[in-house]
Amino acid sequence: MVAPAGTSTAWPPSPPAVASGTTTPLVDGFGRVHRDLRISVTDRCNFRCTYCMPEDGLSWQPPESQLTAEELGRVARRFVESFGFTSIRLTGGEPTVRADLVDVVTRLASLPVDLALTTNGSRLTRLAPALADAGLRRVNVSLDSLRPDRFQTATRRDALPAVLDGIRAAVAAGLAPVKVNVVVTRGFNDDEVVDFARFGREEGVTVRFIEFMPLDADRRWARRSVVPAHEIVERIDTVFPLVTSARSSSPARVLRFADGIGEVGVIGSVTEPFCSSCDRVRLTSDGQLRSCLFATAETDLRAILRDPRTDLEAALDTAIRKTIAGKWAGHGISEVSFTRPTRSMSQIGG
């Protein structure tokens, strides 16, 4: 099922709601209600993207430290049944390198949520049909250059054709919408912004431009590397006129092409932070719950899951509530006191 032309930001349709009266909203100290769970299913990846992983020297977590498909299903069910979560996104590392990913998707698809996946796309040609059959609804593909030499520089892999084929395979499998995430970096790929907008129009996918954030494993991030969201929009608008769409709960500012051929999204995480309306929590592949991508503390849910002496449901619910109650007002990237997380993006989950 492919989104029809001119689709609004409400696409895809909302998943079935959990029965009323059975959940308690998960609210933090600033009144934000949380409904979006990001689950990293692995810290491993078949790429070595410069803003995500060092070229070498990164040790993989041992298999026994990773949550099993059953454990992931148990945790996800607590978020849905106890707190009314309506959205789950699977991330990594690269989630498609996990051998039992289809099993994970099958378990989570039984929950009344909008189930999505973020991937580098290189393995979608083979996996997209099986993932769609298992219940995956939609997919985001990370792609930072359409030029083979730059793609290889960014990912340290010669795999651009595989990613492009994977995007088309996802569309063909009926995953909708297919979104392409582009991290825009000054002096590297910012001159491809219009090229990506054209690519989205031609391929029938939505391109989302994301400001470069300080989570690169090589710790080379600098504010001068950030291309502000407003500049990205201005560059596209000069070639393909844009019309602002109604604001949704998504962090992306969505703009439609004035001629009706698709839309683009811009996420200004650095210059236009959306912390005041953030409804996300994150679970790492080794079972650590994080209230924010930039959090410096984690709560160990794996220990609860594997302790036979605990009242599992009650212990998980208590730990989840306590973690979110302590969520910060914002990530503080622009503040002098900002402290980077000790983990890289691949270890946290994008």
pLDDT truncated to tens, each residue of the chain (350 aa)? 333 333 333 334 444 444 444 789 999 999 999 999 999 999 999 998 776 666 665 678 899 999 999 999 999 999 999 999 999 999 999 999 999 999 999 999 999 999 999 999 999 999 999 999 999 999 999 999 999 999 999 998 999 999 999 999 999 999 999 999 999 999 999 999 999 999 999 999 999 999 987 555 555 556 788 999 999 999 999 999 999 886 666 788 999 999 999 999 999 988 888 889 999 999 999 999 999 988 889 999 999 999 999 899 999 999 999 999 999 998 766 665 556 666 766 677 76
Residues 6+ apart with CB under 8 A from 199: 146, 180, 205, 207
Give which of 239, 210, 241 is closest to 227, Cα–Cα.
210
CA distance 174 to 121: 15
Tokens of 98: 């996990």
And the tokens for 209? 């431009």
* Omega cis (within 30) before 177: yes
Residue 145: which residues within 8 A CB-CB, separation 6 or more?
Answer: 151, 153, 154, 160, 188, 189, 192
* Residue 338, pLDDT score: 57
pLDDT of residue 205: 98
User: Nearest 5°: phi and psi at 65?
Assistant: -85, -15
Selection from 242, 248, 246 nearest residue 260 by Cα: 242
Indicate the domain borders of the chain.
Answer: 26-348
Residue 172 corresponds to which amino acid?
Answer: A
Residue 261, SS3 per DSSP: coil
Residue type, 32: R
pLDDT at 49: 78
- Give the per-residue pLDDT at 333: 67
pTM assigned to the model: 0.88
What are the CB-based long-range contacts (under 8 Å, 24+) for 190-196?
190/227, 192/145, 192/146, 192/147, 192/150, 193/227, 193/232, 193/235, 193/236, 194/235, 194/236, 194/239, 194/240, 195/146, 196/146
Q: Where are the alpha helices (DSSP H) in 114-215?
A: 124-134, 148-155, 160-172, 193-203
Yes or no: domain 26-348 corresponds to CATH 3.20.20.60? no
Cβ within 8 Å of residue 181, ≥6 positions away:
118, 140, 141, 142, 143, 208, 210
